[in-house]
Amino acid sequence: MTYAFHRYAQLCANVVGSSWAFLIASLVIIVWAATGPIFHYSDTWQLVINTGTSVVTFLMVFIIQNSQNRDTLAMQLKLDELLRAVENARTGMVNLESLDEKELMRLQKEFQRIGRRENGMAAQSGAGSAQGE
């Protein structure tokens, strides 16, 4: 079942994400709006589009979430492989997604400090080479 859903979700995401799908959806809205005067803008006329869009939105949430979960997992695995392959990389970073919010914020601040320190060193070495000229 999981494999079948994945294949279906991938197919749906590709089809629904196409320019043709957008064009068809736009045409449906235009036709619906054009039929308003014919149906005297009745409650049923409004209910048709509301129900249709609600059902499509509800189903698309699952399709999009499945695609996003797979993309995120694939990206994490690629990054994990890069961390493993780089000699001085901190391989403890491999499981960051399992950390809680507080731990992630602590790491973010640490990397901001590192970035500021490295930018300061780069600025100093740039100033030193400019003075030596």
**Residue-level pLDDT, tens digit, the chain, 133 residues:** 888 888 888 899 899 999 999 999 999 999 999 999 999 999 999 999 999 999 999 999 999 999 999 999 899 899 888 888 888 888 777 788 888 999 999 999 998 998 888 888 777 776 655 555 5
Considering all CA atoms of the chain, what is the largest pairwise distance in Å, rounded to the nearest integer? 82
Taking residue 63's Cβ as centre, other Cβ atoms within 10 Å add up to 19
Q: Residue 91 contacts by C-beta under 8 Å, 6 or more apart in sequence?
A: 83, 84
H helices within the chain, ranges in order? 2-16, 19-34, 43-85, 101-131
The answer to whether the pTM exceeds 0.75 is no
